[in-house]
Amino acid sequence: MKSNLAKAKIENLIKLFGQFKDDSFDFELIARFFKNKDHSTNFQVITDKTCNDLDFEDLFTYLDRTYSSVGQQYLYDKLRTIPQDSGRHKQQEALIKLIMEKPELRATIISNLHKLSNNDAFYIQSLFQEEPVSAPKWYHIVPFLSAINILIIIGIFINPIFLFPYIVLFIASLVIHYYNKRNVSIYLDLLPELIRMNRSAKELFKIDELKKINQSLGKALRYTDSIGFRLSFFNIGSRLESDITALLWGLFEIIKIQLLLEPMLLFSLLKQLRKKKTEIEDIFSFVGQVDVLVSIAALRKELEKYCVPEITENQHSLIAKNVYHPLVENCVPNSIEIDKKSVLITGSNMSGKTTFIRTIAVNAITAMTLNTCFAEEFSLPRMKISSAIRISDDLVNDKSYYFEEVLTIKDMMMESLDHVPNLFFLDEIFKGTNTVERISAGKAVLSWLAKGNNIVFVSTHDMELTDLLKEEYELYHFSEQVNHKNVAFDYKLKEGKNHNRNAIRILEINGYPESVIHEAIDISKKFDNARSVEII
C-alpha cells in the first residue's frame, strides 16, 4: 500500500512538471551547503545585502523546480555564486533540451531525484563539509576489551570461575555501548541518506547523456557502495524487532554490547568517510547538477517568454529587449541598450523606477548563473553585482539610515577599484541627508562608480543630477498621467529626463486642503526661481 502511494506521488510529480512548487521553504536548511562551501574560485558571491535588495528568497521560491533536497541546496548555491566562465553552458543547454523534449528520460530522472526529497537529505552535505565525530581518547581500549570478552566467554565453558570477570567486563561494555549510542544516533538518519543518494546517482549515471556531467563518477559510486553493508548492521536491530521477535532483538543487542561491535564499526566507518570526502562531494554535486538542469527545464516550460542570454566580451555594454521581472504580476516589459555609459532614471514614486532597476539586476544574476533570462533578448559581459536599494536604520548598532547608506556605497566604491567590471544598482542615492549635500555627494560618487568598465543603474528625484551627469549617464524616466480624478502609470521606460512634476497635483486630487495646495505651489515657484543659483 505504501509503495503504491509513493508511486502515485511520483507519477503526479512527473505530470505536474514545470508547475510552481507548492512547498514550504526552510532556508536555514536550504542554505547549509552554500554557507559551508569554499567559494574562493568563484567570480563573485552575491552578498546578503544584495539578496535582501532583490528579495532573493522570493525569487528562489519562484525559480525552484527541483525534486530533491540535494538539488534545492545546489540551486541555492548556484544562484548565489557567479562562476568564472561559461565553459559548460553548451553542454548544459544540450541536456536541458533533452529533458524538455524526452518525457521518458524526464520521468526516470524525476523518480530517482524524488528519493532524496526528505529533510534528512539536507544534512548529507555535513559528511563532506564538516568533520565527523572523532573517537574518544580512550577508544584504543575498545578492541582490547572486545578480544578479552571473547576469551572470557570461551573460558566460562572451561571453568566457571571466569563468570565473575565476565560480569564485570559486561557492565563495562554496557556503559561504553550506551555512551556511544549518542554518536550512533547522529548518523542513523544521515548515513541512510548517503546510501540513498548513491543509489539514485548510480541510476542517473546509467543514462549516457548525464555521464557527460562527470565521466569519472563511477569510482566514487563504487566506494559508497561499500558503506551499505556496514550501515545495515546498525539498522538490523529494528528490523528484527518488527519482523521476528523482541527476544531475538534482545539477543542481538547483548552480542553487540559484549563484543563492542557498534563503536568499532562506527568509528571505522567514520574514518573511511573522513578520507573520502571528495568522492561524497562529487556524488552530491552530480545529483545537484542533474536536479538543477531539470529545474531550469521545468522553469522554461512554464514561462511564456524567456531567452538564453549572451555573455559577451564587449565591456561596458548591456542589451535588454522586452525584459520583465518574474515576481511582478503582469509586469510591463521594457527595453534598454547601453554602450559606454551608465543609466540615470528619474520619475515619481510608484512609476516603476525601482522595479526596473531590480528587473535588470535579477536578470543579470539569472543570466550568469542559470543561463536563463526573463526577456526577449539579454546580453552583458561577466560582471560583479552590487546594490544599495533597500537600506534601513540599524537600531541594534545605533546606525542611522544615512550612515548605513554611506557604508554600503563605500563598499561599492572599493569594489570598483578591483579592475573587474561591476554592475551597480542604487535607488535614491543619499536620500537620508539635505538637498545640497545630497546632490553634491551624489554627483561625485556616481561619477566615481561609472569609471572604467563599470555600469551603474541609479534612480533619483533630483533633477539637478541629470544636468550634472549627462556626459557620463544616459538619461531615462518613467512618467504618469494625472487628471482631475486619478493617477495612471504606464510603467514604460522613456528616453530623456522627466519634465513632469505631479507631486502637488497628486495631493490635490487626493483631497488635500486648498490652502495647503496653494502654499505648496507658491513655494515651488520660489524654488524654481532660485535654481539659477549654482549648487557647486
Q: What are the residue ranges spanned by the domains of the chain?
A: 13-302, 310-500
**Secondary structure letter of residue 348 according to DSSP:** -
Taken in order 216, 219, 224, 225, is the CA torsion positive or negative?
positive
Where does residue 428 fall: left (phi above 0), alpha (psi -120 to 50 degrees), or beta otherwise? Answer: left
Task: Give me the pLDDT at residue 532, please.
Answer: 47
Report the C-alpha gap between 387 and 392 in whole angstroms. Answer: 14
Question: Is the Cβ–Cβ distance between 49 and 387 less than 8 Å?
Answer: yes
| DSSP, residue by residue, 393-446 | -BTTTTB-HHHHHHHHHHHHHHHGGGSS-EEEEEESTTTTS-HHHHHHHHHHHH
Q: What is the pLDDT of residue 381?
A: 95
Q: What is the pLDDT of residue 375?
A: 97
Q: What's the pLDDT at 247?
A: 64
pLDDT value of position 80 = 97
Residue numbers in the chain where pLDDT is lower than 50: 1-2, 236, 238-241, 393, 395-398, 532-536
Q: Position 22: which residue type?
A: D
Q: Which of 386, 446, 384, 471 has the alpha carbon at shortest distance from 419?
A: 384
3-state secondary structure at position 19:
coil
Q: What DSSP character marks residue 331?
A: P
Whether residue 363 contacts residue 378, with contact meaning beta carbons closer than 8 Å, is answered with yes
pTM of the model: 0.86
Nearest to 460 by CA among 430, 482, 489, 434: 430
Q: Residue 207: how many CB atoms within 10 A of its CB?
A: 16
Q: How far is CA 58 from the centre of its chain?
A: 11
- Indicate if the alpha-carbon torsion angle 289, 295, 301, 303 is positive or negative: negative
> What pLDDT is stored for residue 129 in this prediction?
93
CB 255 within 8 A of CB 262: no
Nearest to 266 by CA among 121, 136, 125: 136
Write down the residue that cell numbers 557620463 correspond to. 472
Phi, psi at residue 305, to the nearest 5°?
A: -145, 130
Q: How far is CA 501 from the centre of its chain?
A: 41
Residue carrying C-alpha cell 563504487? 222
Strands (E), 186-341: 310-312, 317-323, 334-339
Distance CA(222)–CA(202), nearest Å, equals 9
State which amino acid sits at residue 431: K
pLDDT at 536: 43
> Quick check: 13 and 110 in contact, CB under 8 A?
yes
Question: Are the CB atoms for 122 and 30 separated by under 8 Å?
Answer: yes
Residues in the chain: 536
* CA separation for the pair 398, 51 (Å, rounded): 23
User: Residue 533: its pLDDT value, please?
Assistant: 47
Q: Which whole-number Å values give the CA distances from 281 to 88, 200, 220, 221, 288, in the listed order?
A: 19, 14, 9, 11, 10
Cα-to-chain-centroid distance, residue 31: 6
Give the architecture (CATH level 2) of 310-500: 3-Layer(aba) Sandwich (3.40)
SS3 category, 143: helix
How many angstroms separate the CA atoms of 343 and 472, rounded?
8
| Alpha carbon distance 241, 385 (integer Å) | 57
